[in-house]
Each structure stands twice: as C-alpha cells, then as structure tokens.
Amino acid sequence: MPELSRTLPSEDRLVLLPKNPGVLFAFWQFSASREEAFISSALGGEVELRLFHSEDKAQVSALKAAWKSGKAYLEVPAQGRSYTAALYALRSGEWEKLLESNPVSSPAAAGMAEERAYASLEFHKRVHL
Amino acid sequence: MSSRGSLMFVLHAHLPYVNHPADSSFLEENWFFEAVAETYVPIISLLERLASEGIRPGVALSISPTLGAMLENEELEEKMACYLGSRLELIAKELERAKDDPALLKTVKLYQKLYEDAAALMHKYSGDLITPLKSLQHAGQIEIITTAATHAVLPLLTRPEAVRAQLAVAAEDYFDRFNQKPSGFWLPECAYEPRLNSSLKLSGFAYTFAESHSVEFSGQDASGGVHAPYRTSNDVGLFVRDAASSREVWSAQFGYPGDPAYREFYRDFGYDGEYEYLRPYFGSDGARRPLGLKYHRITGAGTDLAAKQYYDPDAAQARVEAHAADFLERRIKQADDFYAERGTRPLIVSCYDAELFGHWWFEGPAFLETVIRKIRADRLPLQFVTPSEYLNSCQEPREITPGSSSWGENGYFDPWVNETNDFIYHAVYAATDKMIETANRFRNQDLPGLSLRALNQAARETLLAQSSDWAFLLYIGSHAQYAKSRLEDHVANAIKLLGDVIEKKVDETALNKLEQRNSLFPRLDFRIFASVSKF
C-alpha cells in the first residue's frame, strides 16, 4: 500500500469521509500525549472505532482499531443518512471516548447506470500511461 | 425556425498548477503546453471565427483558477513559445522526411498548421490567452465561469473553513482576472453535496451544476426531469448534466471519439521515431516522451498500436460532419420526446472537460464548431444558451436538494478515496487543520511583513495540497510519484511556514523561492481560512 514518505506532526484527528452510498472512509491519528498514555498503559492497547447514526446516536457498528494511527472503510447500513465515528479505548476497565469525527452523510444510491459512467477517467488518460 | 429546445454547452478547462521555473524542460509542464496548442488555442480560434462571422457560439467556459494562473504566467508563456518553436523545428524536418510519402505528408502538414496557428495566436495576444477569452465574454459571445481555487473535491473537505476558502479565493481570482464578479461555479468533478449550498451562496455564486443521477433519484419533486433548471433552498440555480449527450461525446467506447477514422492518441512519434533524430526534442533527461505528433488513426477497436494505419485528415473530417449531424439529430429527438411527454421545451445541458476537445479527441474542436454552425446553417430548431441567459429568461425554477454525487467513475467519490490514494488525507488534513488553527490565532494581529507573507504562502500551499489531481493521478497510476511528491511538498511547506511564523524564524530566502514557484493568488489573505472570517 502506498504511504506518505514524511512524518506528519503528531495530533489528535479522526475524520470521516464519504466514498459511495455503501461505504464511508475513516482515518485517524493520535497526539504525542495520547501515544504516551497508550505506551504507559494508562490507556489500554485495545481501541475500538464505532460508527453511530448522527441523529439518534445509535451505534451501528464497531471494529478493532490501531492505537497509533489508522484507517478503515466502514460499511453503512442505510444510505443517505448522517453518521459519526468515534474512537474508544479502555481506561481502568471502562471504555473512554478519545476522539469523535465530523458528521458525514452517506450518498443515497441513485442506481447510476453503467452508460452514465464516466467523465474524468477518460480525460485523465491523457497523462501518458 | 422556432426553437424546440435549448442546448447548453459547458466546457470545463482545468489543469493542476504545474510551474517549475528552475527547469527548462520539466515533463509535467508539457501537460500545459500540449493543452494550449491542442485545445485552448483551437477553441479560442473557433470561438473567434464564429463570432467574426456573426454566429454567436453561446457556450459556457469554466476556467479553473490554477489554469488561469498558468495562462497568465510569463515564464510559462516563454516556455510555451520555446515548445512551439521546438515542435515547428521538428515538423520542418518531418516535412522533408515525409516528402515522398503523401499519406504521412498530409498529416505532417496538418500539424504544421496546428502549431503555426498556435504560435500566431500566442503572438497576437502577446502570450496571454486570457485576453481573447475576456473579449469574447465582454462581447456576449460566451460566458466564463470558475471552479474551486485549486480544484478540490469539495465534499471531501469536511472543514467549512476549507470549503469557504476554496470558493472565496476562486471568486476573488475570477474578479481579478475577468474584471467582474463570477456568476457560475463549476463544482470540481461535478462533486456535489447539500452542505455546499450555503458556501456557494455566501461566495456570491448564482448557479452551479450537478449530476443527473443526483436529481433523478433525489426522492423529491423533480418533475422537470434532468432537462429543467432547479434552485437550491437558498436560491442557487442548479443545472443538471444530461447523461445521453455527455456519453456520446465522452465515451471512447460508445461515443464519437472512438471512431476508427479519428486520430489515435496513444501512438506518438516520440516513441516511434529514431532516437538520435528525436533526441533534441526530449527533455534534459533524454528519456522518450510524447511529442504530440501522432500519425495514426484509431483504425479499429482493440487494434494493436503497432498495427494502426496512417491518419487521413480528410476521412476524419468527413466523420466529424457525420457525427455533428448525428449529435444534433439526437438532440432534436430528445427535445421532441420531452415536449411530447411534458409539454415544455427542454434544456439539454452538455458538460465536458475542455481538454477532451483537441488534446484527447483531436477532432473535437472541429466537431464543436460544426455543431454550432449546423444549427445556424440548417436552421435547426435548437438554440444555444448560456447559463445566465437561461436563468434570466426561464420561469422560477423548482426547489430541490440533490443527493451527494460526482461525475467520476460510479457516480460518487470512489476515484478520490480508495486504497491507492487514501493515505494522502492524513497529510491534507494536517495542513488544513494547522492552517485554520494558525489563521484563527493570528487573524486579529498586526503582523510584520515577513510573517504575513509566510502565512499567505502557507495558505497557497494548503490550497494546492487540496487539489483533486493528486488523488486522481495516484488512482490511475500515472505520474503517481510526481503527484505524491507535489502533495507532500505542499503539505510540508504549509506546516513549516506556519511553524516558522509561530516561532518567529521565517526563512526569507526559502519563502522567496516558494513565492516564485507557487505564485498563484497574488491577493490571497490567509485570514480566509479563519473560522469566523473577516470576509
């Protein structure tokens, strides 16, 4: 998998982006102080990425996540609804919310027919393969 | 003959900002030179030709701020002149080499005319192609619109400050370039989401465009289908791209550009010719590169590149005539079918990347000109309209909130968010968040000149990091290393400049270099990224 060549500043960040009607993309990173908390075991090493409906805060999924930084593609149960993600870690046996993402709406499936498809892909073929 | 429908052509011209003043033959700068010679000059020429004959083109042209900055960059203009000179020098040699090969000679002469015309137009306007565009707009021949400052896919910018900066900087850039406020906004990659409505309104845009599937399946009353304008809840006009007319022109597989008589894009003399003969026309690295001289035709779907036959300009022109006639016939039928079903005259909105015409589809400018001419010459019941004209004359559009969508593969955001490129968002958001945080910190402070320059340059670098092009190039695996380097450079530049301002240790020499290289948006004020803007 391609990755960045340079190190970024250590900051707390959890971002949720739309990908398509069925999938959202989440990526996250923890600050140095949080990293220290993990290393010192103040925070348990187990991290969960949870997805919620924004409107009623109902949890729709949870998955194990990496504590330092990471990414995940999250399937959504209902298209066209707003979601928020959050990262939780164990502190003294209790789940503690560490980071919360922006809300994002998953696109509503529009049944894009095959013949509609395109636009920029063919244009960009002009950069020589 | 009275009109049975309206046709709106929207050509979106965009290139990522590529400017490497320290290098005389930087490969990726050729994107710009090729597009100027093969697309922008032919389109400007045909628009001027039509206007001079009293045939009003009436098309809308979106010029991205990054492209506009490149078109006004004097160093790039000088390099452009060298590029054209180099091509004409090679063509002179080719005329000699092809003198006993009539089929090849005909095509070489075609290229001779293409590059001579480009050189002549550049000379006529002292290298500045914005001037004729401005004149055409001023004369009411075309309508020029803009797009996001660095062509960011706006639904992927979750910080409202970042969206506002992309729109506000674009509006200011347009005003500086065209001496008037912009009316229309082309959403990069036609990527829409409802959250953008308020940003569009706040930045003063009167209308934008969305994909047909975002309206057809919006679950709301879209009784005009895709052939009527709409408006958002805050009164931003909304035009809907027509899928059928787009497909006929866009698709290499199903559309006109795949015709066997048309020029083959991928077989280039830069890879075919004898190396030593061509060596002077390659870059300083000596590696083969496309030279724009493509002597073959598509020949047939799936035909191996080596088996392609020579291009015949006359045969291609005959197909242009046939395709233009077919295109218009289909639009008339589309209009008649719509009228029969709904009792109103449709608006057919056909949106294309401008670079399709000429660069990718070599015969595209001739097709465009033929379509416009035929409507007049054959007295066809269609009329070209620009977006503002249509909005000013149509009944109050129905309110709608389309769904999130784009014109990219599969209709949403997959091309810009996938396993090949998702790593970039860590970096894009690192720069964006830092920029917003620092803008908030310094927005009300009187800053020394050097700090102010550094913050403004950091804002430029942040905007450049947000460009859609880096994710897309990574996705298609073309110039991927360049895309990754550019993204990482802009992010690193922004973060370093912001850190240097905070620590009061701005390196003026390094800042000078960045200002020279990434010199777009001269009036950019970093405060545009502040959470509560002064603007």
DSSP state of B152: -
Chain-chain contact of B194 with A105 (C-beta, under 8 angstroms)? yes
Chain A contact present for B381, CB below 8 A: no
What pLDDT, on the 0 to 100 scale, is given for residue A120?
44
Least CA distance to A127: which residue of chain B? B478
| φ and ψ at residue B396, rounded to 5 degrees | -55, 120
pLDDT of residue B244: 85
Angle, nearest 10°, between helix axes B424-442 and B480-502?
Answer: 30
Query: Measured between alpha carbons, how far is B434 from B437 in angstroms, rounded to an integer?
Result: 5
In terms of pLDDT, which residue wins out, B214 or B418? B418
Q: What pLDDT sits at residue A109?
A: 75
Put simply, the answer to whether B413 touches A18 (Cβ < 8 Å) is yes
pLDDT in tens, A94-120: 999 999 999 999 998 765 544 444 444
Give the rounded distance of the alpha carbon of B182 from its chain centre: 16
Q: Tell me which chain B residues have a C-beta less than 8 angstroms from the C-beta of A129.
A: 266, 476-478
**Architecture, CATH, for domain B417-529:** Up-down Bundle (1.20)
Torsion of CA B412, B35, B240, B207, to 10 degrees: 110
Which residues on A lie below 8 Å from B163 (Cβ)? none
All structural domains of chain A with their residue ranges = 13-124
Q: Residue B535's pLDDT band (boundaries 50, 70, 90)?
A: very low
Q: What is the pLDDT of residue A123?
A: 43
Report residue B11's pLDDT band, with 50, 70 and 90 as the boundaries. Answer: very high
- Interface contact flag, B484 A5, Cβ < 8 Å: yes
Single-letter amino acid, residue B341:
E
pLDDT tens column, B406-418: 998 888 999 999 9
B7-72+134-263+311-410 is a CATH 3.90.1300.10 domain? no
Question: Are residues B63 and B69 in contact, defined by beta-carbon separation less than 8 angstroms?
Answer: no
What's the pLDDT score for residue A119?
46
* Chain B neighbors of A111, CB-CB under 8 A: 213, 217
B184 part of contact set with chain A, CB < 8 Å: no
DSSP three-state, residue B325: helix
Query: Any residues with CB less than 8 A from the CB of A114 and at least 6 apart, and which?
Result: none
Q: Return the residue of A nearest to B188 by Cα.
A: A120
Calpha distance B526→B437 (Å, rounded): 11
Tokens standing for residue A43: 């925070």
Beta-carbon separation of A122 and B156 below 8 A: no
The stretch B291-306 carries a mean pLDDT of: 94
B356 interface with A at CB cutoff 8 Å: yes
A116 closest CB neighbour out of B243, B424, B478: B243
pLDDT at site B1 = 58
Percent share of chain B, pLDDT over 70: 98
Nearest CA in chain B to A19: B413
Q: Quick one: pLDDT at residue B396?
A: 86
Nearest to A72 by CA among A85, A60, A59, A81: A85
pTM over 0.80: yes
Cβ separation A119–B247 shorter than 8 A: no
Q: Which residues of A touch B190 (CB under 8 A)?
A: 119
Q: What are phi and psi of A15, to 5 degrees?
A: -125, 140
Q: Which residues of B411-429 are buried (b: 16+ CB within 10 A; e: fewer)?
A: bbbebbbbebbbbbbbbbb
Please, how many CA atoms are within 13 Å of residue B93, restricted to the half-sphere of its CB? 12
Distance in angstroms (rounded) separating the CA atoms of residues B13 and B42: 13
Question: Model confidence over A48-82: pLDDT tens digits?
Answer: 999 999 999 999 999 999 888 899 999 999 888 99
Of B11, B15, B46, which is closest to residue B28 (Cα–Cα)? B15
Instruction: Closest CB to B430: pick one of A9, A109, A129.
Output: A9
Query: Mind listing the pLDDT tens digit for each residue in B159-209?
Result: 999 999 999 999 999 999 999 999 999 999 999 999 999 999 999 999 999
B423 touches chain A (CB under 8 A): yes
B213 touches A at CB < 8 Å: yes
CA dihedral B43, B44, B49, B55 (to 10 degrees): 80
Res B252: pLDDT: 67
Give me the pLDDT at residue B25, please: 83
Tell me if A119 and B408 make a contact (CB, 8 A cut-off). yes
Give the residue extent of every domain in chain B.
7-72+134-263+311-410, 73-127, 417-529
Mean pLDDT of chain A: 85
pLDDT at B424: 97
Q: Regarding predicted confidence, which is higher, B515 or B219? A: B515
Report whether pLDDT(B466) > 70.
yes
Q: Look at residue A129 and tell me whether its pLDDT is greater than 70.
A: no
Q: Does domain A13-124 have CATH number 3.30.200.20?
A: no
Mutant choice from B289, B362, B422, B490 vs A, greatest count of A C-beta within 10 A: B422
Contacts of A124 in chain B (CB under 8 A): 472-473, 476, 478
Name B287's Cβ contacts closer than 8 Å, sequence gap at least 6.
none
Question: pLDDT for B381-400, tens place per residue?
Answer: 999 999 999 999 888 888 99
Q: Is the pLDDT of residue A127 over 50?
A: no
Q: What ipTM describes this predicted complex? A: 0.93
Alpha-carbon distance B247 to nearest alpha carbon in chain A (angstroms) = 7
Nearest CA of chain A to the CA of B243: how many Å?
Answer: 6
- Residue B219: predicted pLDDT: 65
Kindly list the residues from chain A whose CB atom is less than 8 angstroms away from the CB atom of residue B425.
Answer: 15, 17, 25, 27
Instruction: Show which of residues 15-74 on chain A sit within 8 Å of chain B, judged by CB atoms.
Output: 15-21, 25, 27, 29, 69, 71
Closest partner residue to A17 (CB to CB) among B158, B268, B419 is: B158
User: What is the pLDDT at residue B336?
Assistant: 93
Alpha-carbon torsion angle B295, B301, B302, B306, nearest 10: -20
Residue B288 has pLDDT above 90, yes or no: yes
Q: Which residue has the tokens 């928020």?
A: A84
Whether A124 has a pLDDT exceeding 50, the answer reads no
CB contact under 8 A, A119 and B407: yes
In one-letter notation, the amino acid at residue B104 is L
Residue bearing the bigger pLDDT, A122 or B325:
B325
- How large is the angle between the packed helices B160-178 and B449-465, nearest 10 degrees? 100
Q: CB contacts < 8 Å between A and B, how many?
A: 177
